Amino acid sequence: MKKIAPLLVYLVLMAGCNTDTKEKSGYPTTGYIERLDPGLDSLILKEAKIEIIATGLDWSEGPLWVEKENMLLFSDVPRDTIFKWTATGGKEVYLTPSGYTDTIKRGGEMGSNGLLLDPSGNLVLCQCGNRQMARMEAPLNKPEPLYTPLATRYDGKRFSSPNDAVYNDAGELFFTDPPYGLETQRDDDPKKEMKWNGVYKVKTNGDVILLTDSIPRPNGIALLPGDQQLIIACSDPAKPNWYIYDLAGDSLMNGRIFHSTLNELKEVNGLPDGLKIGKNGIMYASGPGGIWIFTSTGKLLGRIRVKNPASNCALSADEKTLYITNDMQILRVRLRK
């Protein structure tokens, strides 16, 4: 009964809510915060609201807070464009094309997906259309679509569509490669060159290592503090899990399920997707119904419940604000003062 009650409350609230409310900041608000453990109270204020700070997107992804420029970057994958949001300027085009620079016309979701900064502060992009990990060769405050490939192939075969990525403290790049950026988004796409959907590591010398090919739809990826454990989201409806692995050099060990959503919230939109882990080990992960909040040991503290599928999230530098890519809109939650 405890598992069913939150879902019923959510469905009742959402069914009776045709318009979003407005917060004092002037932004409309949506959804609610579901508190499942008292530990959440130290992370998110009881009066916290879910603000809609930007709208009008096709499918938003890859949010990245850039402290140096006081801006949020995020991908609109179908539009092949990165937008930026600032408190003063709102939503503006930042960079296009962001994921596909060839002149041959193609369909599918061509744009960038995951965005991150490398150890030197350069913008790094998961490029669906170009099927590579790449670095933008322009300053953050003067963006241009000039890209240097960081990883394009494994064992001579092209990647399908790099989706999400993370750096460790040693400057090594980890990324996932599902088929979602291919024109059919399926494993039988004629242009797919690998039989699997892999998770890879790019060493500082440029060598690319296959870490695992056993996750059917690898998606979001993040490291726990200390870089000894890696968490990978699987967006396969048959295996909607977060997996955790121990890192041993260039290998993954002791793989197991961190948390499964197979028997939870089946009526709610969304699958395990992008995730971020704070300095304290708290994990904010997009999944069915919104953002799931876990401790580093897998204890579920609560959820940020929203109507549309959440694809990913990003923390501000002080980790007091969480930004969420939520289908056609961008959300902000002021976690703490």
- pLDDT mean over 61-84: 98
**What's the pLDDT band for 65 if we cut at 50, 70, 90?**
very high
pLDDT at 20 over 60: no
Q: Which residue has the higher pLDDT, 22 or 169?
A: 169
| Phi–psi pair at 40, nearest 5 degrees | -70, -25
Question: What average pLDDT is seen over the chain?
Answer: 93
Residues found in the chain: 337
Rounded to whole angstroms, how far apart are CA atoms 331 and 51? 5
Range from 12-21, 39-48, 61-70 carrying the lowest mean pLDDT: 12-21
Note the pLDDT tens digit of each residue in 203-229: 999 999 999 999 999 999 999 999 999
User: For the chain, which domains are there?
Assistant: 4-334 (2.120.10.30)
pLDDT on residue 249: 94
Does 322 have pLDDT greater than 60? yes
As given in the structure block, the two tokens for residue 262 are: 């197979």
Tell which residue, 259, 265, 249, has the closest CA to residue 305: 265
Closest by Cα among 133, 211, 209, 205 to 170:
205
- Asked whether the predicted pLDDT for residue 8 surpasses 60, the reply is no
Q: What is the pLDDT of residue 142?
A: 98
pLDDT score at 7: 40
pLDDT score of 90 more than 70: yes
DSSP symbol at 44? S
Residue 29 above 60 pLDDT?
yes
- State residue 263's pLDDT score: 81
- Per-residue pLDDT, averaged over 138-143, amounts to 98
pLDDT band, residue 39 (cuts 50/70/90): very high
The pLDDT tens digits of the residues spanning 105-116 come to: 999 999 999 999
Q: Model's pTM, two decimal places?
A: 0.92
> What does the pLDDT read at residue 269?
86
